[in-house]
Amino acid sequence: MECCSWSVYLSGVWRRWRVLLVSCSLAVVCWSSASVMIAARPAADEPTASYVELSPVVVKQVQQRHPFVGTATAHRISVVGSAVDGRVEAVSFREGDQVAFAPAGKAAASPTESSSVVSRVQGPALVQLRTGTVQLELEGEKAELKYRQQAQLQLQQQLPAELKQAEAKLAAAEARSRNAQSRYTRTERLYRESQTATKEELDEADSDLRVARQTEIAASSARQQIEATRESRLAQAAATVSVQREKVRRLEDILQKYTIRAPFAGYVTKLYTEVGAWIKQGDPIVEVIELDPIEIHTFVPEKFIDRLQPGDQAVSLKFEALPKRTFQAVITRLVPQADPRSRTFPVKLEVENKGFQIKAGMLARVELAVGQQAGRWVDKDALVLKSGVRYVIVADVTNHEHRFKARQVPISVGLTDGNLVEVIGDLSDRDQVVVSGNERLAGGELLTDQAPRRKQAD
């Protein structure tokens, strides 16, 4: 009996354990299925990452620029004075008038000037003095010059004729001399041998021979004198003409001084005389300034002066009176004498000023390159401007791969180089900025640089 009861008990226990094992197995299977389904389905509260395109921050060397204040100054300033005494007859320009030069060789002639003087003058006449007396003297000297030129020409034509005439006289004298010599020889032979000729005939032949020989000598001397003095007479005539021509040129030069001309193109800024006024030699007449090109005078501290060289281009040049324009300037001179109070050196730049928009005395803002410094550059598409604030969106790295967090960084811009823009702000060379989709970001959003699968499929 006891054995039967133990058998029954053990059978019940076995049935209960078998049911328990089956239940546990079913529970394990259900839990695994639920885990797979949960893992396959995203959590409802996980945020969605926005797809963006990123570009790295580039670091490269750029010019270090420093702003300076300058003043526009005329390239040249000339106070034109009078070289002669005289009374003002006409004033052609007033203060503020532009003085323009005519093309070379085509300057307008005043009634008192000759063509030889006008060919050397290009500047327009500013003031004209009375020239009546000088003009009369000039006309007289010109007439004398014309007379002497005619005398020189006549001498040049006369000398060959005189030489030919002297040669003809010499030839005739030589012929007479030979004839007289023959007659004397014949008369002497007749007188000595046959007494056919008388003493009187011999003396007459001898006298004729002597006269013929003297005539020949005189003709030869005259010819030699013409040949010997020919060059000197021509030179004397040429010198006379040259002296008279210089007298004419002297008067022309004096006459030219009665016309006060501008030394260069520019503007009249001051007028010191008026029609009817008496001008003494050396008195100022007008002040003329040249504005093209125009100079910019600025002062550079001593720590920067060794970094500048003549010929360097200014980074930028602007004028407060011309805010919409930027000009190109080049350094022309570095004055090696500093102001002992400010320890700054004068630096002069030159600017082309064809339209005369820049006036002398204007305030200038100059930026000069004073060295090299490392700058950070980004793609120009990374710049965002909203409500007057310029910024970029930096993609900060997170713990998940291809996941970033947007961060807004305010910046200011500098130079440009193709598609790159220099930016100044809280950026490092390891940062990446958003170049596509950045307009809708404000900072704090979750980002990804992995394109959606539908775009990859496309």
Greater pLDDT, 227 or 136: 136
Cβ atoms < 10 Å from Cβ of 20: 10
pLDDT for residue 156 is more than 90: no
Q: What is the pLDDT of residue 13?
A: 44
> What's the pLDDT tens digit per position in 26-71?
555 445 444 444 444 444 445 677 888 899 999 888 778 889 999 9
Q: Of 163, 166, 150, 155, whose CA–CA distance to 235 is shortest? A: 155
In the CATH scheme, what architecture does the domain 50-59+375-457 have?
Answer: Beta Barrel (2.40)
Cβ atoms < 10 Å from Cβ of 8: 8
Answer whether 133-257 and 290-372 agree in fold. no
Poorest-confidence range of 144-158, 219-233, 318-332, 352-366? Answer: 219-233
With contact defined as beta carbons under 8 Å apart, do 367 and 66 qualify? yes
Q: What is the pLDDT of residue 451?
A: 72
Q: What is the pLDDT of residue 319?
A: 95
Query: Helix, strand, coil proportions of the chain in percent (round to 5)?
Result: 40, 35, 25
Give me Rg for the CA atoms of the chain. Answer: 56
Cα 309 to Cα 108: distance, rounded to the nearest angstrom: 43
Cα angle value 412/414/416 (rounded, 5°): 130
Q: Where are the domains of the chain?
A: 50-59+375-457, 83-131+258-282, 133-257, 290-372
Alpha-carbon distances, residue 452 vs 16, 393, 394, 432, 444 (angstroms): 55, 21, 21, 20, 21
Q: Of 55, 46, 47, whose CA–CA distance to 395 is shortest? A: 55
> What's the pLDDT tens digit per position in 254-312?
999 999 999 999 999 999 999 999 999 999 999 999 999 999 999 999 999 999 999 99
The residue assigned the tokens 């900072």 is 443
Cα angle value 229/234/235 (rounded, 5°): 100
Q: For residue 372, what pLDDT band results from cuts at 50, 70 and 90?
A: confident
Q: For residue 111, what pLDDT band results from cuts at 50, 70 and 90?
A: very low
- Please say whether the dihedral angle defined by the alpha carbons of residues 171, 174, 176 and 178, taken in this order, is positive or negative: negative
Query: The domain 133-257: what is its CATH number?
Result: 1.10.287.620
Q: For residue 327, what pLDDT band results from cuts at 50, 70 and 90?
A: very high
Q: What is the pLDDT of residue 196?
A: 78
User: At the fourth CATH level, which superfamily is domain 290-372?
Assistant: Efflux pump adaptor protein, beta barrel domain (2.40.30.170)
Cα 186 to Cα 182: distance, rounded to the nearest angstrom: 6
Average per-residue pLDDT for the chain: 83
Q: What is the pLDDT of residue 27?
A: 52
pLDDT for residue 213 is more than 80: yes
Cα 115 to Cα 396: distance, rounded to the nearest angstrom: 83
Q: Which CATH number fits domain 83-131+258-282: 2.40.50, 3.10.530, 3.30.70, 3.20.20?
A: 2.40.50
Run of H or E including 162: helix 132-189
Q: Of 150, 152, 107, 143, whose CA–CA distance to 251 is shortest? A: 143
pLDDT for residue 121 is more than 50: no
pLDDT for residue 409 is more than 90: yes
- Give the side-chain half-sphere CA count within 13 A for 192: 6
| DSSP designation for 450 | S
Cα 388 to Cα 410: distance, rounded to the nearest angstrom: 11
pLDDT for residue 20 is more than 80: no
- Give the side-chain half-sphere CA count within 13 A for 382: 32
Q: What is the pLDDT of residue 15?
A: 54
User: What's the whole-model pTM score?
Assistant: 0.57
Q: What is the pLDDT of residue 139?
A: 94
Poorest-confidence range of 176-180, 188-192, 213-217, 271-275? Answer: 188-192
